[in-house]
Structure 1
Amino acid sequence: MRRTRWATGMGAGLLALLAVPAVAMADPATLRMADEGQLPVEVGINSIWVMVAAVLVMFMQAGFAFLEIGFSRGKNAGTIIAKILVNFSIAAICFWAVGFAFAFGDGGSLIGTSGFFLAGDNPTADFPLISLPDGTITVEALFFFQFVFCAVSLAIVWGTTLERVKFGVYVIYAIVFSAIIYPIGAHWIWGGGWVAEQFSVQDFAGSTVVHLIGASGALAVLLLLGARRGKYGNDGKPRAIPGHSMPLFGLGVLILWLGWFGFNPGSTLGALDGRFPEIAAVTNLGAAGGVLAAVAVMWLKVRKIDIGMAGNGAIAGLVAITAPSGYVELWAAPIIGLVAGVVVVFGILAIDKVLDDPVGALSAHGLAGIWGTLACGLFTSDRLAAKNAVGEPGLFYGGGLGQLGNQAVGVIVAFVFVFSASFVTFWLIKKTYGLRVSAEEEEAGLDISEHGMYGYPEQFIPAPELVGYSPANAPVGSATPKATTREVPA
């Protein structure tokens, strides 16, 4: 097993991440057993749980894919698969090389400076394990769990860019985001950084660190990218551009819901104290509250059960319960979800009047992420505040306004930093490489213009022409069949 030297930095990172009073390092006997491939039982059990949770979070990439495909028009369905695969792969390399070290390595309050490539300066240093009060896990298990969080945050960024962004933009920003922007934001709140040190922000699983950070990047690129052609009429009013498959969208939402049972319960980083089932129940109640509230609000407004809003209600409830999931009692979870369901509906309707956010990412991940983080300052119980040893109980438990103020500071700092860094990055991309495909390419659809093939060939190419079809002879631009341009007026 590889060894690293950065025990001090990882100890500080886990202090903020798990909010525990102390971190004990593995003893020499345990280290020798690890080297021989014979981990103690508690190490194996906890590492298995963390890896299972991480795989569930990884599966959320499929959820994002189906959700975005469902909300896209058929001529842009295929490109999302390539985007998901490339972004996930870039984040894997960058987070392994530098991101994990920047987020959780030693280095002080601004950024970690040790532990690059999961192999410290001295390869013989005795640090292959991290011992926690909840049990012991391997460094590699912690790394993979934190990597899939970074990948989820990156996936959130692109919800506002569907159907008109150049594919190369994904590549450039993914490198910057997973290597620099996300790790610094995570370090400040989860990795022993200055926000954690000075304000004791409660964010158990990432309403701010994962979801608000992703939504902040999404807002930055949207402001520079602009709306899809045909989204706003001459009078400035928004026009509906329906997605091509609500069943795929619904499947995506359910996959994300499933993945959240790794996201929140997995953040215990241990299985032996039995906390993760309680957190799973809290998570589920929050999601349910979000669905019911969103459906009810839309019924009151239009007397219809809106499919898209039902799904976004689920996402908003899950996002909102992410920060408080380890700090609130069961009774508070559906309330937090209900508020998130109301927020996401009104947020989507308001934002749609001025910004073209095809999947509602700014509301479901941004506004709901803000609400979830602030909710800790209201609902964190005295029992769980003491158990986690982070911050104070919420206002409803007699904790006053102090913790609510600290939560607001975390929200503001994360948004300002990520939005500013992302805006500068996307502005530079726009001035050099460019952000947006041409009008002709947008009309043809990104499947054919960026990838040379259709996600649904039989939908756009007459049957006789399908014989011998390949990307090499596929029509592009003005040669694209008219079926690709008829859905939305220019």
Structure 2
Amino acid sequence: MESFTDIKYILDSFLMLFGGILVMWMAAGFAMLEAGLTRSKNTATILTKNVALYALSCIMFYFIGYNLMYGEGSSFMGGGFALSGFTSEGLGHSVMADFFFQVVFVATASSVISGTLAERMKLWPFLIFVVILSSVIYPIQGHWSWGGTSLGGLIEGFSDFAGSTIVHSVGGWAALAGVIILGARKGKYDKEGHVRPIPGSNMPLATIGTLILWMGWFGFNGASQLTMGSSNDIDVIATIMASTNMAAAVGAIAAVALTQLLYKKVDLTMVLNGALAGLVSVTAAPNTGMGYATTVGAVGATLAVFAVPFFDKLKLDDPVGALSVHLVAGIWGTLAVGIFGNGKFMPQLIGVLVIGAFVFTTSFFVWKVLDMLLGLRVGEQEETEGLDIHELGLEAYPEFKRH
């Protein structure tokens, strides 16, 4: 007969394994959302990127990243040299369950970048950046918080329950650095700086992607409790999932109301991003309760709706609105812990600034080196005719051949 300790070990490990499966499914959500909000001539490339980035994130986090992030010691780079050297002893759950749950978070950060740089970036420089992000950049900043060092006390008291900053805004900062160097899509802005809308090719696909992400977020936030061996744990997990759902719901409706007021029509793309912004916002403290989630989710969605035209004014072309959703709402959600939640504001602010400065600076350097060595951007003809033909030699929809 199993002891209580064994049962708790089994339940805690199962929580992370099942939560990891849900978060892995978010890779499909990101792929569908990005494909739906961009043009069909680039769809096959987008799908290839999303499959490859997930696979690369898993491989590099296994060989390098996990050890930097969770290795013993308090050095800048962390400690430990091989995942096989980690044991489950004293951990309270399977170390492999822990690795699996953590690795799918790394892939999420990479997925954020993919959408921001879509439709004009070469495939291989992007994949090389994913290798560096998942093996070095993400794990180092993760070691400062979830890894337990607090960066020598600099971000002592910083709280990010499931990754508004550690996952989502990290992807946003890396994407921002990339888009500054890469530039806008051809024809997005005219000579006077006016925005020329480039409609997405498939709104049903984008909607399906959003709903997949919404579903996956229950694992993203819920399993971040990391334990469900007691009735109290189950109550907390239930609170997290209910709050996660509420943040998305109020985010979507806030975007419905706001776009009607601003544009006299409801904008579906904003509604989808409103739901996602609500989810990103609540991720820093989903265990705080549904009242908190309602407030934070509504504000996050509102900020995202205003951030989309703001980035356009800066000529930062973001085809899917990932900067508005993951960077802006991620920052907001982290700061909200110190305003409405159980944290203190200054540690939250310092954490956002330190992590943001590190990720943006290192990412900018890496993007710049890749641009010098390989070139980040496809040629004008390739961009006009579509990345699918020139990068892959095939199209997602060959029956609808362009002439």
- Mark yes or no: TM-score above 0.5: yes
Match of 2:21 in 1: 55
Match of 1:333 in 2: 293
Query: Is 1:228 aligned to residue 185 of structure 2?
Result: yes
CA distance in structure 2 between the aligned counterparts of 1:196 and 1:374, rounded to whole angstroms? 21
The residue type equivalent to 1:362 in the other structure is L
CA distance in structure 1 between the aligned counterparts of 2:16 and 2:322, rounded to whole angstroms? 27
Q: Is the 8 A contact 1:289 1:336 kept in 2?
A: no
CA distance in structure 1 between the aligned counterparts of 2:89 and 2:30, rounded to whole angstroms? 33
Output one character per residue of 1:259-306: Cα deviation in whole Å (capped at 9) or x when no partner.
Answer: 000000110111222121111011111111111111111000111111
The residue type equivalent to 2:34 in the other structure is E
Deviation at 1:456, TM superposition (A): 0.4
CA distance in structure 2 between the aligned counterparts of 1:175 and 1:159, rounded to whole angstroms? 17
Q: Is the 8 A contact 1:76 1:445 kept in 2?
A: yes
Query: Is 1:66 aligned to residue 32 of structure 2?
Result: yes
For residue 384 of structure 2, give the secondary structure of its aligned residue in structure 1: helix
Match of 2:214 in 1: 257
Deviation at 1:129, TM superposition (A): 3.6
CA 1:49–1:196: 2 relative to 1, 3 Å: farther
Match of 1:76 in 2: 42
Deviation at 1:130, TM superposition (A): 4.0
Q: Is the 8 A contact 1:100 1:183 kept in 2?
A: yes
Match of 1:288 in 2: 249
RMSD of Structure 2 on Structure 1 (CA): 1.5
CA 1:40–1:196: 2 relative to 1, 3 Å: farther
Output one character per residue of 1:113-162: Cα deviation in whole Å (capped at 9) or x when no partner.
Answer: 2042x122xxxx8x33444xxxx210000011010001101111122111
CA distance in structure 2 between the aligned counterparts of 1:42 and 1:291, rounded to whole angstroms? 37
CA distance in structure 2 between the aligned counterparts of 1:156 and 1:106, rounded to whole angstroms? 29
The equivalent position to 1:276 in structure 2, one of 237, 248, 252, is: 237
Counterparts of residues 22-41 of structure 1 (less than 5 Å): 40-41=6-7
Deviation at 1:196, TM superposition (A): 7.9
Match of 1:397 in 2: none
For residue 79 of structure 2, give the secondary structure of its aligned residue in structure 1: coil
Greater Cα offset, 39-48 or 310-319: 39-48
The equivalent position to 1:193 in structure 2, one of 126, 146, 149, is: 149
The residue type equivalent to 1:113 in the other structure is G
Gaps of 5+ in 1: 1-29, 34-38, 381-392, 395-402, 461-480, 483-490
Deviation at 1:66, TM superposition (A): 0.3
CA distance in structure 2 between the aligned counterparts of 1:72 and 1:332, rounded to whole angstroms? 34
Match of 2:160 in 1: 203
Counterparts of residues 60-459 of structure 1 (less than 5 Å): 60-116=26-82, 118-120=83-85, 127-131=87-91, 136-195=92-151, 197-198=153-154, 199-272=156-229, 273-274=233-234, 275-326=236-287, 328-353=288-313, 354-380=315-341, 393-394=342-343, 403-459=344-400
CA distance in structure 2 between the aligned counterparts of 1:66 and 1:445, rounded to whole angstroms? 18
The residue type equivalent to 1:226 in the other structure is G
Match of 1:386 in 2: none
Q: Is the 8 A contact 1:157 1:215 kept in 2?
A: yes
The residue type equivalent to 2:259 in the other structure is M
CA distance in structure 1 between the aligned counterparts of 2:15 and 2:90, rounded to whole angstroms? 15
Deviation at 1:41, TM superposition (A): 2.0
Alignment identity in percent? 43
Larger relative contact order, structure 1 or 2 (CA cutoff 8 Å, min sep 6):
2
What is the aligned length?
A: 395
Q: Is the 8 A contact 1:207 1:370 kept in 2?
A: yes
For residue 93 of structure 2, give the secondary structure of its aligned residue in structure 1: strand
Deviation at 1:329, TM superposition (A): 2.5
CA 1:130–1:290: 2 relative to 1, 3 Å: farther
The residue type equivalent to 2:333 in the other structure is G
Q: Is the 8 A contact 1:59 1:259 kept in 2?
A: yes
CA 1:109–1:405: 2 relative to 1, 3 Å: farther
The residue type equivalent to 2:327 in the other structure is G
Deviation at 1:107, TM superposition (A): 2.8
For residue 459 of structure 1, give the secondary structure of its aligned residue in structure 2: coil
For residue 144 of structure 2, give the secondary structure of its aligned residue in structure 1: helix
Q: Is the 8 A contact 1:56 1:263 kept in 2?
A: yes
CA 1:214–1:130: 2 relative to 1, 3 Å: farther
CA distance in structure 1 between the aligned counterparts of 2:362 and 2:22, rounded to whole angstroms? 30
Q: Is the 8 A contact 1:108 1:193 kept in 2?
A: yes
CA distance in structure 2 between the aligned counterparts of 1:362 and 1:190, rounded to whole angstroms? 23
Q: Is the 8 A contact 1:130 1:138 kept in 2?
A: no
The residue type equivalent to 2:46 in the other structure is I
Gaps of 5+ in 2: none
Q: Is the 8 A contact 2:240 2:289 kept in 1?
A: no
CA 1:65–1:71: 2 relative to 1, 3 Å: same
Q: Is the 8 A contact 1:190 1:196 kept in 2?
A: no
Q: Is the 8 A contact 2:35 2:46 kept in 1?
A: yes
Q: Is the 8 A contact 1:111 1:188 kept in 2?
A: no
The TM-score with structure 1 as length reference comes to 0.79
